[in-house]
Each structure stands twice: as C-alpha cells, then as structure tokens.
Structure 1
Amino acid sequence: MKLAKLNGRPEIFYSIQGEGKSMGKPAIFVRTSLCNLHCIWCDTDYTWNWQNTPFKHVNDSKAGYSKFKKDEWIVELDADEVYNEIKQHPCKRVILTGGEPLMQQKELALLAQLLHDNGYFIEVETNGTLVPTSEFDMAVDQYNVSPKLSNSGNSTQLREKEGAFSFFSGSEKASFKFVIDDPGDLDEVTELISRYNIAPLNVYLMPQGTTGQALNQKQQWLVDICKEHGYNYTDRLHIHIYGDKRGV
C-alpha cells in the first residue's frame, strides 16, 4: 500500500484523535497517500498535489511553496510491514487516514482484518465519495466521513456521489464531519443532511483553520449553530496542542 512519507519513513505515528466523534482519544495514525479530491485548504496536500497537476492550493502564494514530487513523498509497504510498525505503540485504536484511504481498499482490507483479529479498534477517515467493499467494511469499526463543500474548491460532480452518501448515511458505523469556513456553508450542510436523511446527532461541524487563532475566531458562532440545530461541535484539538505540524 502507498503511504505518505515523513522523515524518510512511513507516516505512522501515535497521538490523539483531534477531531470528531473520538476527539481526545489516544490513537495510532496510518496516513495513506493519494486522493481523488483536491481541497484548496487541505493540510495534507503532500498526498496529492503532485508536480505538473493543475490543482490550486491556498499555499500557492506563500514563498517557497511548490508542488510535490510524487516519488519522493510515497513509501510502499505491505500489510505485515504496517502492522509491525503499529504494534510498537501502546494503543489499540488505529486511524486509517489520508489522502483518501478508500482508494486502496484491497490492500487496506488485509491490514484492517489483521488489526481486527488482534483486538484493534479501527477508524477510517474518508471524504465519503467511495463505497467500501464488503471485505473492508467487515473489519472497520467506525467511519469518520468528511464530505466536502463548495469551499473546498472541488466541483459538485467530484465531491458528491449519491451511492457513497447513501451507504454511509445508512451505516451505524458512520458519523459526518463538515468543515465550515463561514456561516453561509450551513445552507449546503442542511441540504445534504435533508437529501440523504442524516440524523443530526451524527453530524459534527468543525471550523476551517490551521492555527488556534483562526479556529477560535469561528468557534463561538459555530457553536451557536450547533446548539440551534442539534449538531455536535468539534474543534481541531491537535492544532491547539501541537500547531500545524506533521506526525503529532
């Protein structure tokens, strides 16, 4: 499987879950490379923003920023090799993240089954555009679905797939996290919740931001929206603790 590379090694690290339903829980993160979307504010753009691609990113205007050389940012491991890395850490919660993990279901299904057989709880972070296979789904305990809104810069055709939305909205394993940039984003969220019959108690709203200051500026009005509609508020706890850093 293709994983993101960090300091010359696969990006597998022990931290806490910073977002959503499991926020604050210790977890081992396995970051896959490759993504089928290209969010303009993505903080893991080293998993998809390759040289000679046309995708835009908010960092384009920053001095020294450039697209990534694909062969320098990917490391390939098999399921046994990844499991050997995971079991070095004193934790039984594993989060498969990305990128978009469901682009590599065949490989990840082998890893998920191996983890499941050894008593691990498995979370999958996904953009909700791909339907899990039955083999993969059987080994997964929790889906953290983060559908993208128009503020991501992706077209509706790319970011909204009816079959995938219907699968996750009907799964007891799934919760939905929406990244909110401004109050106007709520109209899109409300429409999606209605269209796919998503229960409010399974909805988490999270401010868009990569600094504590940016998150705090949106916190109060977003909390009020959650209170009004019966949604859950989720912060980005890891940003407040560690800043916008990798591997923590």
Structure 2
Amino acid sequence: MKISKNNGIPEIFHSLQGEGKSIGRPSIFIRTSLCNLHCIWCDTDYTWNWKNTNFKHKSDSKEGYSKFSKENQIIELDTSEIVSIVLGFNCNSIVLTGGEPLIQQFGLVKVMQVLREKSMDYHFEVETNGTIMPTREADALIDQYNVSPKLKNSCITESLRIKPEPLGFFSKSPKANFKFVVSDKGDIEEILALMTTHGIDPNSIYLMSEGTSMDELSEKNNWLVEICKTYNFHFTNRLHVFIWGSKRGI
C-alpha cells in the first residue's frame, strides 16, 4: 500500500481524533497517500500535489512552498508491516485517512481483516470525500464513515467532487456522518441544496471552519456556531490545530 511518508517514516501515529463525530477520541491514524481530488485549501496536499502537475493550492503564494516529490512523500508497506506498527500502540480505534483512503480500499480491507482476527475490539473509521463507493467487503468491516463532500470553495468542478451514486449510498448508511468544510456564510445554501438533493439526514451533518491556524479558525467559528444553531447542525472544531498547530504526524 502507498502510505504517506513523514521524515522518512510511515505516517501512522497515535493521537486524538480532531474533527467530527468522534472528536477527542484517542485513535491510531493510518494516512494513505494519493487523492482523486485537489482541494485548493487541502492541509494534506503532500498526498497529491506532485511536481509537474497543474493543481492550484492556496499556499502557492507562500515563500518556500513548492509541489511535492512522490519519492519523498510515499512509502510502500505491505499488510504485515502496517499491522505491526498498529499493534505497537495501546489503542483500538483506527482512523483510515488520506488523501482519499478508498482509492486503496482493497489493501485496507486486508489490514482491517488481520486486525479484527487479532481482536474484535478494533473500531474502524474512514475519512472520505464521498466520491468512491465502498466495496461490500470494505463496508462489512468499517464501523463509521466520516464523509466530507467538497463544496465550491474547494475550487473543484462539480462533476468531479459530487458523485450521486456514492453520496446516495452514504446518505442511506447508518454508519455515515457528513462533515462540510465552510469558508464563508454563503456556503450554507450549497450545503442545504446537497442535503435535499441527496437525502442527507440533517442530524448527521457537522459544519467545520476552513483554516489551518487558531486565528483563522476562531474568526470563522464565531459565526459558524450561529449557523449551526439556526439549522440544528452539529458544530465541529479542529481540535488538533488548537492543541498542536498545523503539524504532521500528531
């Protein structure tokens, strides 16, 4: 499997879930590389923004920022190597993240199967952009879907970021919750339209401010909380940013 590489080692780490339904839960994160989207504000752009591509990112204007080399950002691991790292942590909550982890769901199925053979206590969350349908084998093993459909603020064409069939599957799944990244107040109309069109239960919706710093998040959180109160949506912060800042592997 292609796993994100951080300082020469696989980005598999023990931390707290920082967003969404399970916020604050101690978890082991397995960060896969590769993504089928290219959100302009993505905070894990090292999983897809490769050299010699034309993708745009909000950091393009920052001094010292440049696109990433695949060989420096990807490490290939087999099932046993991933399982061995996971077993080194005293934790049974696993977050499969990325990138877009469902690109590599066949490999993740093997990892989940081996871990479940070792203990039925393992709980698997998948963080997905909602554009890829899980296989029957993957769905049988996954306990929770954290689905984050991308809005216009991602600067991706609608035909790429909104796929009706997978969204229909997730909207009907009792395992799914939906997290929308909100950049400005105008995003709410798009969220309401997606909710109606794809039959998303409003009780499963979480709104989260777009941003990678405490100041940026705090400024938006003030009005986003009021929107959540108005529409009875859940509010979620980015807990890890407030604790550690915008850092990898924590």
When normalised by structure 1's length, the TM-score is 0.99
Name the residue aligned to 2:87: 87
SS at match of 2:206: strand
Supply the AA of the counterpart residue of 1:101.
P
Name the residue aligned to 1:208: 210
Supply the AA of the counterpart residue of 1:235.
N
CA distance in 1, matches of 2:171, 2:64: 41
Name the residue aligned to 1:31: 31
Supply the AA of the counterpart residue of 1:22.
S
CA distance in 1, matches of 2:216, 2:225: 15
Name the residue aligned to 1:8: 8
Contact 1:116 1:122 in 2 (8 A): no
Supply the AA of the counterpart residue of 1:84.
S
CA distance in 2, matches of 1:25, 1:108: 21
Q: Compute the RMSD of aligned alpha carbons.
A: 0.7
> What pairs up with 1:144-155 in 2 under 5 angstroms?
144-155=146-157
CA distance in 2, matches of 1:46, 1:142: 25
Q: Is 1:195 equivalent to 2:232 in the alignment? A: no
Name the residue aligned to 2:160: 158
Q: Is 1:67 equivalent to 2:34 in the alignment? A: no
Cα deviations by residue, 1:176-212 (Å, 9 ceiling, x for unpaired): 0000000000011000000111111100000001011
Supply the AA of the counterpart residue of 1:105.
Q
> What pairs up with 1:33-52 in 2 under 5 angstroms?
33-52=33-52
CA distance in 1, matches of 2:227, 2:62: 33
SS at match of 2:246: coil
Aligned partner of 2:144 among 142, 145, 157: 142
Contact 1:93 1:121 in 2 (8 A): yes
Deviates more, 1:74-83 or 1:20-29: 74-83
Supply the AA of the counterpart residue of 1:211.
S
> What pairs up with 1:68-147 in 2 under 5 angstroms?
68-117=68-117, 118=119, 119-147=121-149
Q: Is 1:242 equivalent to 2:244 in the alignment? A: yes
SS at match of 1:4: strand
When normalised by structure 2's length, the TM-score is 0.98
CA distance in 2, matches of 1:41, 1:219: 17
Where in structure 1 do 4 or more consecutive aligned residues deviate above 3 Å? none
Q: Is 1:20 equivalent to 2:15 in the alignment? A: no
SS at match of 2:200: coil
CA distance in 2, matches of 1:129, 1:184: 23
Gaps of 5+ in 1: none
CA distance in 1, matches of 2:113, 2:202: 31
Supply the AA of the counterpart residue of 1:44.
T
Shift of 1:112: 1.5
CA distance in 2, matches of 1:142, 1:112: 13
Supply the AA of the counterpart residue of 1:134.
R
Contact 1:123 1:140 in 2 (8 A): yes
Name the residue aligned to 1:182: 184
Supply the AA of the counterpart residue of 1:247.
G
Shift of 1:116: 2.7
Deviates more, 1:174-183 or 1:213-222: 213-222
Shift of 1:115: 2.3
Deviates more, 1:89-98 or 1:108-117: 108-117
Shift of 1:244: 0.2
Shift of 1:67: 0.6
Contact 1:94 1:121 in 2 (8 A): yes
Shift of 1:45: 0.4
Shift of 1:125: 0.3
